[in-house]
Amino acid sequence: MTMSLFLTALGLFAAFALLVTIPALLRPSKQSAHLANLLGLVGTLSGSLTGLCALFLTPVASQASFQAPFGLPFGSFTLVLDGLSRLFLFPVFGLGLFCAIQGFLSLRHERPSQHNLGSHWLFYLLLLLGLGLVLSARDIVLFLVAWEIMSLAPFFLIDFNDGDSRVRDASWVYLVAAHLGAVALLAFFVLFWQLTGATAWQAVQKLTLSESSRSLLFLLALLGFGAKAGLAPMHIWLPEAHPAAPSHVSALLSGAMINAGLYGIIRTVSLLTCNGRPPEWWGWLILAAGLCTALMGILKALAQSNVKRLLAYSSVENMGIMTMGLGCALIGQSLGNGWMAIAGLCACLMHMLNHACFKGLLFLAAGEVLHATGTVNMAQLGGLAKKMPFLAACFAVGCAAIACLPPFNGFAGELVLALALLDGSSLAATEHQLLLLLSFAALCAISGLALALYAKAYGLVFLGQPRSGFAENVPQKSWQHFWPISVLALGCLLMGLLAAFVFSLTCESVSSLWPLQTLTGYAKAKASLLDSLTKAGAIFVFLLAATLAVYGLRKRVLHKRGIRFMPTWACGYQGGNARIQYTDASFSEPLARILGPLMGQNVSQSQDKAIFPQSGQLLVKAPDRLRRKVYGPLFSGIETLCNALKIFQHGKIHLYILYILVTVVGLLIWGLV
């Protein structure tokens, strides 16, 4: 039942992807664009809803499998839905649904001569199909095919506004990064095939691999999947691709696609460790990678002035937090600490679900801001809360959730992670205790910086006075335009209040996958965490109810009194204008004084040196140094090397024949000597 519904969902994606090619091939007109938009929406809606039914109808830990003839001489078409797959499929179908609706609403007004909506929806549907296959494939050949579909589709989605050279550049950066990761994955799968002699994922369980080959497989998987997940230093495609892509695509990429990288790491590690405990250094390596990624992501995000770029770096940070959870779980498993293992793993998965929800919300809201004002540069925005109060409220919910403020969902995930790291004090070795407590401190710092970051994002975009004409002349929009966003905002709140349910969901989903039950303290940890989260949820419900009650009382009391609205600081200085407000640079300036080198901020200042200065200029930029200083020289070096080979490719045909002759003679001599 589950499997047939899931297959129907995938089939619907594929069928509508085929259907939508018809308007894509037609001559661009208003009708064909409308048809493509409609077909894309219907395809995504029907597929995603069927998929969600498949996920919700049966318990999360149950397993369903499907096998079909593949038609290739190797590999098989094997799909299995188990707890982990289901958990990662929730964001795919859920976010796919809302992003499609929001995309439909915003793409309605695109000019058919400028964009081919048919091809856009084709690749959107292919991305969903690829994601569905990646998360359920249990054969390495099928997995690689699906991975390639999933990796190629975003290239065309990011390239939507292909008239802009920066967008084209971003999509190429994405493509190169995706395929550099794919190279590591290919090596991983070839090694896998060589070691196990089979193409089924499960084949590795039956073997006892040597320590070194297990570690090599682990490292290759970490590289290959880490590039997709955006682990530092392989994250450089995220801050390029997300600002360039249409917002509903950014939301889907950030909320669902990069999770596929995390899924790959978890799946590989779970398979490699099912026959015994993982080496301890795996956990420390993943924890360190996650920590560095999270710190780097949040610091770079703080230095950004483009909202979507800021959100992209924030995705890097959140992926780092999830990876920290996984690292903590592995350390717990290798040291036999049940609490750390279960709490770390659940924190990782809970944060994955939460992140999909609030990052989807934030990207879609940023897209609406872009749609209304024409820019996402914070230096030109401001005061939008008065024009679009509903959108502002939704964005505020997203910001509060991602900054880990209770009672929203981000808080629950990071609370569990913090509890996992705090239990490091129960470990035997002092250096382990110290390292985990330091990680805890770093997590606190990251959360604090996230709060600062989103205070900046929300404050600069929605509060204060409009900083430019862009933000001033905003058309009024009713809540009907934003309802998919509001559903996601509601999701953030509900997942926060029902954190205990989400926790037990993640706990059940991994129970079949990972032999954690044998660890000491597992049952106690599970019960105790569940208890804490239930109590926290109850307190939040009470506080929320109390707040609503006070708000209602206030409204009732003020009902008959006249309320006057005055400008801010009306009682004080009256000469205020938009230019004296905080800018994005001034917001991050105090932090940049301490962490400037880490944030990579460039400050250039030019002042009039005259006695009565006329004008001055201050420029604050935060380009990605990794791209300019590491990847740029690396790739241009490779290019120079390849160009050097052109001395052999000179276009003189008779010399080409000489090469052939020399080769043949050489081979003859080699064969006969």
- List of residues contacting another protein (CB under 8 A): 650-655, 657-658, 661, 665, 668, 672-673
Instruction: Decide: 87 and 353 in contact? Cβ < 8 Å.
Output: yes
Q: Which is nearer to another protein, 541 or 668 (CB)?
A: 668
Angle between helix 430-462 and 280-302 (nearest 10): 20
Of the candidates 150, 169, 323, the one whose C-alpha atom is nearest the C-alpha of residue 239 is 169
The nearest distance, CB 657 to another protein, in angstroms, is 5
Least distance (Å) from another protein to the CB of residue 666?
A: 11
Residue 441 vs 668, nearer CB to another protein: 668
Smallest gap from Cβ 175 to another protein, in A, equals: 24
Q: Which residues contact 254 (CB under 8 A, 6 or more apart)?
A: 238, 242, 311, 312, 315, 359, 360, 363
Distances (CA, A) of 124 to 130, 239, 602, 603: 10, 20, 37, 40
Choice between 610 and 653, CB closer to another protein: 653
**Rounded to whole angstroms, what are the CA distances from 556 to 266, 552, 559, 562?**
53, 6, 5, 13
Closest approach of Cβ 638 to another protein, in Å? 23
- Our CB check for another protein shows the closer of 190 and 658 to be 658
Identify whether the C-beta of residue 351 lies closer than 8 Å to the C-beta of residue 280: no
Q: Which residues contact 626 (CB under 8 A, 6 or more apart)?
A: 233, 236
Q: Which is nearer to another protein, 597 or 651 (CB)?
A: 651
Q: How far is the CB of 645 from another protein (least distance, A)?
A: 16
Q: CB within 8 A of 203, min separation 6: which ones?
A: 196, 197
Q: Three-state SS for 391?
A: helix
As measured in angstroms, the least distance from the Cβ of 656 to another protein is 9
Q: In this structure, how many other beta carbons lie within 10 angstroms of the beta carbon of residue 548?
A: 10
- The C-alpha atoms of residue 303 and residue 217 are separated, in whole angstroms, by 36
CB of 652 to another protein, least distance (A): 6
As given in the structure block, the two tokens for residue 577 are 């204008």
Nearer to another protein, 611 or 660 (CB): 660
Q: Of 527 and 664, which CB lies nearer to another protein in the complex structure?
A: 664
The one-letter amino acid at 433: Q
Q: Residue 444 class from Cβ within 10 Å (0-12 exposed, 13-18 middle, 19+ buried)?
A: middle
| Alpha-carbon separation of residue 33 from 26, 44, 105, 571 (angstroms) | 9, 16, 13, 54
CB of 646 to another protein, least distance (A): 12
Among 572, 500, 566, which Cα is nearest to 538's? Answer: 500
- CB nearer to another protein: give 638 or 665: 665
Residue number with CB closer to another protein (638 or 668)? 668
Q: Smaller CB distance to another protein: residue 109 or 650?
A: 650
Least CB distance to another protein at residue 643 (A): 16
Least spacing, CB of residue 639 vs another protein, in Å: 19
Beta bridge partners of 104: none
